[in-house]
Amino acid sequence: MNEPLLIERSKAGRSSYQFPQLDLPRGFDVALPELPPTLRRSKEPRLPEVSELDVIRHFTRLSTMSFGVDSGCYPLGSCTMKYNPKVNEQLASLEDFTAMHPLQDVSTIQGCLSVMYNLLEDLSGITGMAWGTLQPCAGAHGEYTGLKIIRAWFEHHGDARRTRILVPESAHGTNPASAAVNGFTVTTIPADAEGLVDIDALQGLLDDTVAGVMLTNPNTLGLFEKHILAISEMVHAAGGLLYYDGANLNAIMGMCTPGDMGFDVVHLNLHKTFGTPHGGGGPGAGPVLVSRDLVPYLPKPDIKLVDSGYAFDWSSELSIGKVSGFWGNFLVLVRAYSYILRMGAEGIRAAAAHAVLNANYLLSRLKGTFSVPYGERCMHEFVVSLEDLKEKTGVSALDVAKALLDSGYHPPTMYFPLIVHEALMFEPTESESPETLDELADTLIELAGIAASDPQRLKQAPLTTPVRRVDEVAAAKNPILHA
């Protein structure tokens, strides 16, 4: 199971490819300017010399060691690991998209621009916002962009006092991080006994130093913030703006919009809600949509439909500028547009309904075995606590997550949100069948039984994976990324 690196298989002189004989006259040898010695290699690069079969076998073996949505149930909470339809891949691999260059003249990329324009129109409708940008390449990048827009709005209105962003204590870590990167200070809003934003605490925190409040709805406990209209009124009355972290849009799309709830800025994770691949760090897409007043601050260029067709518009003077190399992760945008067209309005609504139904079904199967600290019912995901189990048996949330790997499941999200101890957060998504959910529930219930009868067995898990337990702190703090 221990796959060597290609460089370890290297044999001098072995190669996978032969260039064809040169059949053109030599003559292209142009004198290039000399590179300064500091930029030149002092010795030949150490590259693996391997045969084609070595390469194919290496990567095929590696591919069987990873876990993906296509290989098994992947209930990773807060990540919406839904099935990525293969039709999206087919469309995104069309040469009409892949052979384009972002610097081509706009008259030659009208099809690509129409995909982007139509996608923006659809996302504006789904979120209830006026318009947006497709440039950000991840959710966190969308947060960075959205908060920059909020900052630009207050700067333009001469309101320099507004330097604070409020985030609930259940917020995803990227929320406070994005606020801090934008130069805001972050204040935490405590949760009430139901796991929702504590309205009284929020009221106490709102003043003329608050630029905005970042919320996700449903929140990271999978609970709908039922006081959202009151919250929106409170934030706006205090002169602040309301930011929607769209990572959990899968629960509500087609049912209601962040616009209906009073949000001013929204980011979406196309790699969660709109059926595009994620994991392993990307590529993703985190479009940002805003209410009418904030449109002039969006990154430029905007995409406009004019008499001659689609065009880039660089004219906005209030724009925060560009936030991406070119126009975003274009092929991810193609996949998301394909997903929306294929699903249609009814399909999008049905996906949200089934995501909520599946999560509630799994919750109902597990709540007799594991304790559920917040909410009898949930939206698209829920969080159980293994604190009691750990106290009684010594088996932790980590041990159960690792044991799930031996049973063929990707573990749920662990130890998040932080307000739940020994947390496991499940998000089955709409893609899973009732049979799969039953098998997963049976496995978890069986693992809880093993925790009581043979805790050491779970402490050893996983037994079947290429890598067993790693030193997680060392892996995060001192990753070895090269041979």
Ligand X SMILES: Cc1ncc(COP(=O)(O)O)c(C=O)c1O
Q: Where along the sequence are the contacts to ligand X (CB under 6 A)?
A: 78-79, 138-140, 172, 174, 216, 220, 245, 247, 269, 284, 286
H or E stretch covering 424 = strand 423-426
Q: How far is the CB of 221 from ligand X (least distance, A)?
A: 11
The C-alpha atoms of residue 7 and residue 48 are separated, in whole angstroms, by 5
Identify which of 86, 56, 57 has the alpha carbon closest to the alpha carbon of residue 69: 86
Identify which of 250, 213, 208, 254 has the alpha carbon closest to the alpha carbon of residue 233: 213
Q: How far is the CB of 247 from ligand X (least distance, A)?
A: 3
With respect to ligand X, which residue has the nearer C-beta, 164 or 278?
A: 278
DSSP state of 281: T
Q: How far is the CB of 410 from ligand X (least distance, A)?
A: 14
Q: How far is the CB of 279 from ligand X (least distance, A)?
A: 10
Identify which of 472, 358, 463, 467 has the alpha carbon closest to the alpha carbon of residue 404: 463
With respect to ligand X, which residue has the nearer C-beta, 172 or 410?
A: 172
With respect to ligand X, which residue has the nearer C-beta, 138 or 450?
A: 138
Contact between 397 and 370 under an 8 Å Cβ cutoff? The reply is no
With respect to ligand X, which residue has the nearer C-beta, 216 or 257?
A: 216
With respect to ligand X, which residue has the nearer C-beta, 140 or 420?
A: 140
Where does residue 414 fall: left (phi above 0), alpha (psi -120 to 50 degrees), or beta otherwise?
beta
The two tokens of residue 124 are 């504006």
DSSP states of 144-204 as a string? HHHHHHHHHHHHHTT-TT--EEEEETT--THHHHHHHHTT-EEEEEPB-TTSSB-HHHHHH
Q: How far is the CB of 270 from ligand X (least distance, A)?
A: 9
Residue 199, C-beta contacts closer than 8 angstroms, at least 6 positions apart? 192, 227, 230, 231, 234
The C-alpha atoms of residue 257 and residue 90 are separated, in whole angstroms, by 30
With respect to ligand X, which residue has the nearer C-beta, 284 or 462?
A: 284
Q: How far is the CB of 389 from ligand X (least distance, A)?
A: 25
With respect to ligand X, which residue has the nearer C-beta, 296 or 375?
A: 375
With respect to ligand X, which residue has the nearer C-beta, 268 or 451?
A: 268
- Tell me the β-bridge partners of 371: 385
Q: How far is the CB of 174 from ligand X (least distance, A)?
A: 4
Q: How far is the CB of 318 from ligand X (least distance, A)?
A: 26
Exposure of 477 by Cβ count < 10 A (0-12 exposed, 13-18 middle, 19+ buried)? Answer: exposed
With respect to ligand X, which residue has the nearer C-beta, 78 or 124?
A: 78
Contact between 186 and 176 under an 8 Å Cβ cutoff? The reply is yes
H or E stretch covering 338 = helix 330-366
With respect to ligand X, which residue has the nearer C-beta, 84 or 269?
A: 269
Residue 36, C-beta contacts closer than 8 angstroms, at least 6 positions apart? none
Closest residue to bound ligand X by CB: 139
Strand bridging mode 210-215 / 164-168: parallel
Q: How far is the CB of 171 from ligand X (least distance, A)?
A: 7
Q: How far is the CB of 437 from ligand X (least distance, A)?
A: 21
